[in-house]
Amino acid sequence: MQPPSWPVRIALLAGALGLALFPLVAAPFYLQLVAKIMILAVFAMSLDLLVGYTGLVSLGHAAFFGIGAYTLMLLSPEYQAANFWLSLLAAVAVSAAAALVIGALVLRTSGVYFIMVTLAFGQMLFYYATGSKRLGGSDGAYIYVKPDAGILGWTPVDLGSRVQFYYLALAAMLATYLLLRVVLRSLFGHAIRGIRANAHRMRALGFPVFRYRLAAFVLAGALAGGAGYLSAAQYGYVSPDLFGWQQSGSVLMMVILGGMGTLFGPILGAFVLVLLQDFLGDLTKHWLLPMGLFIILAVLLLPQGLGGLVRMPRRAAAEPEPEAADG
């Protein structure tokens, strides 16, 4: 039930500040890379809501990432810009609706079966996108013109500008973090943590566990859809891989590596995983090997993830004292 400790808060603030200043010094390539990472961080935080807080290990979370991305593609006229606000809203709404339907089905299972069924749904969408002409088939499809965020002649953000897109991604990441913090300290947030800890007892107390899980699933799906939308907007390209199990697996890896149930951990996980991939990819084409070793070592040595490194000192220090009130 702990809110982030002071060292974590300071680190987060410093991190946000650093990211805000980064465009002043960064080369365009890295600007684009970090924007991509921040979008993946939104995706990873949305999965942490399920894995780390509700106790639902989904291996099909990319389904909603892909749905958000493809929604933008479908809403983009061929040679014109889609309206950013409307298409973003639509992408989030469609992802949420899909999560409601898929969640209502998959949440009837639990444990390993839940993992398998979520995986199956993701793969179903993957194969659907692969086979569908309308969706561009296995080659994917391009979004030739970036969405236009103009409101009545005023354009708060130009998605075509690398720097402005970077700030959009940063804002999305910070907004997602703050939104989930509010949700997690709410009555709902405490209830889902109770469900993760002991679903049986929660039912005996009178909580409609299924509905709580479904609500978390929908919220996570909606956020993942928003992340998928931004990803499609960044690259102007969608492909069936967005739905695939590799994508679901890699975001799950970000959550586990960063530390599930911490919210800031998945951000860290997204940065470490993507930067490492980039760094190792430059060194050798066999980068998957050192990458795999790193992940195995990290999981073995840091059972709480990278986020656990920041939290551990506080745990020891807080032991003799009663729990601090939520701030």
Give 10 or 182: the residue with its C-beta nearer to another protein: 182
Other C-beta atoms closer than 10 Å to the C-beta of 162 total 16
| Contact between residue 282 and residue 52 where contact means Cβ atoms under 8 Å apart | no
Q: Which stretch binds another protein (CB under 8 A): 11-19, 102-110, 182-190, 284-292?
A: 182-190
Establish if 209 lies at the interface with another protein (CB under 8 A).
yes
Q: Tokens 């993830």 appear where?
A: 305
Establish if 201 lies at the interface with another protein (CB under 8 A).
yes
> Using the rule CB under 8 A, which residue among 167, 207, 235, 237 binds another protein?
207
Contacts with another protein in 295-324 (CB under 8 A)? 322-323
Task: Tell me the H-state helices in 57-142.
Answer: 62-75, 84-106, 112-131
| Contact between residue 92 and residue 108 where contact means Cβ atoms under 8 Å apart | no
Give 167 or 210: the residue with its C-beta nearer to another protein: 210
Q: For residue 51, how far is the Cα from the chain centroid? A: 11
For residues 28 and 35, what is the distance between their CA atoms, to the nearest angstrom?
11
Establish if 2 lies at the interface with another protein (CB under 8 A).
no
Q: Which stretch binds another protein (CB under 8 A): 123-131, 140-148, 177-185, 275-283?
A: 177-185
Q: Which stretch binds another protein (CB under 8 A): 69-77, 152-160, 202-210, 275-283?
A: 202-210
> Using the rule CB under 8 A, which residue among 77, 200, 282, 283 binds another protein?
200
> Using the rule CB under 8 A, which residue among 198, 246, 281, 317 binds another protein?
198
> Using the rule CB under 8 A, which residue among 160, 208, 292, 313 binds another protein?
208
Q: To 10 degrees, what angle do helices 209-235 and 28-48 make?
A: 170
| Least CB distance to another protein at residue 235 (A) | 32
> Using the rule CB under 8 A, which residue among 205, 293, 296, 317 binds another protein?
205
| Contact between residue 251 and residue 260 where contact means Cβ atoms under 8 Å apart | no
User: Which residue pairs, CB below 8 angstroms and at least 24 apart, start in 2-7?
Assistant: 2/323, 2/324, 3/181, 3/185, 3/324, 3/326, 3/327, 4/262, 4/263, 4/264, 5/310, 5/311, 5/314, 5/318, 6/314, 7/310, 7/313, 7/314
| Least CB distance to another protein at residue 11 (A) | 23
Q: Which residues bind to another protein, rule: CB under 8 A?
A: 1, 182-183, 185-191, 194, 197-198, 200-209, 322-323, 325-326
